[in-house]
Amino acid sequence: MSLRPWSAIPIHDGGDPLQPLPAELLRLEPHPYAVLGAPYGSSGCPFRLRQEVIERLLRAQQLLRQSQPQWGLAIFDAWRPLAVQAFMVEHSIASTCRERGIDPHQSSRERQAVVAEVGRFWAPPNPDAAAPPPHSTGAAVDLTLASGSGEPLDMGSAIDAIGAVSEPDHFLGASQQCRDPRQQQRYLSWHHRRSLLRSVMEQAGFAQHPNEWWHFSWGDQLWAWSRGEPAAHFGRVG
């Protein structure tokens, strides 16, 4: 099983339980993976995180509203048990194959290329507690910006999109290569929004996933690796 650069970081988990997200943080519902049939179980609410992570999210939202008083953070996904991680990896591989006219059930070079590309965005459902997927720790969150009415803002690509379009600075490069002024302005608007999200999250202590504009964490192995910390604070929950 392919591991991440941060998988060797030691974990010193104090056992803090998952807590439900407070009302101040907008949830994007219905939850997209639950709608697909992901196996959360009867008590597996995904909108839960460690308390320290929640407090830092609230701080990030305060920082956001200093420059954009009508905007807020919108939570797409939070805690994700291992069974859901496995379900969603397979779903992403199959759906990406179908989008590209590839048989998801037939072994082929094209399918293997899809598996590799999906692997840049979806962590393997590693059962080893020493190298858990970030979301299984309750320390990682997928989120976006929302308007005052609660509508998610256009960030240039959907959360979970597979490809270079999901990389945090994709539209900065695209704007520099674009000769259409209107399209260039759209690219710069998307880049500005992604940069604003990253700025408030990083000011609140979060680390961003290198391939995903929407994914941030505090206290897991990715965070420790990104920030040069000697150990992660949180391991897998459930």
In the beta sheet, which residues pair with residue 48? 20
If you ran DSSP here, which 8-state letter would residue 134 be given? G
What mean pLDDT do residues 5-24 have? Answer: 96
pLDDT digits (tens, 9 = 90+) for 98-148: 999 999 999 999 999 999 999 999 999 999 999 999 999 999 999 999 999
Catalytic residue check, 212: yes
Q: Looking at 90, 151, 212, 229, which residue is catalytic?
A: 212
Place of tokens 């907008």: 26
95, HSE (Cβ side, Cα atoms, 13 Å): 11
User: Residue 147's pLDDT is what?
Assistant: 97
Residue 224 carries which side chain, given as an amino acid letter? A
**pLDDT greater than 70 at residue 84:** yes
**pLDDT greater than 90 at residue 4:** no
**What length does the chain have?**
238
Query: What is the topology classification, in CATH, of domain 18-227?
Result: Muramoyl-pentapeptide Carboxypeptidase; domain 2 (3.30.1380)
**pLDDT greater than 70 at residue 2:** no
**pLDDT greater than 90 at residue 51:** yes
Place of tokens 């597996």: 44
Domain boundaries, the chain: 18-227
Q: Would the CA dihedral through 210, 216, 219, 220 be positive or negative?
A: negative
Please state, for a pLDDT cut of 90, what percent of the chain lies above it.
92
Complete DSSP assignment for 86-116 = HHHHHHHHHHHHHHTT--TTS--HHHHHHHH
Positions of E strands within the chain? 18-20, 26-27, 48-50, 72-77, 140-146, 207-208, 215-217
What mean pLDDT do residues 20-38 have? Answer: 96
Are the CB atoms for 13 and 235 separated by under 8 Å?
yes
User: Residue 174's pLDDT is what?
Assistant: 84
What mean pLDDT do residues 27-54 have? Answer: 93
Predicted confidence band of residue 180 (pLDDT cuts 50, 70, 90): confident
**pLDDT greater than 70 at residue 154:** yes
User: Residue 1's pLDDT is what?
Assistant: 52
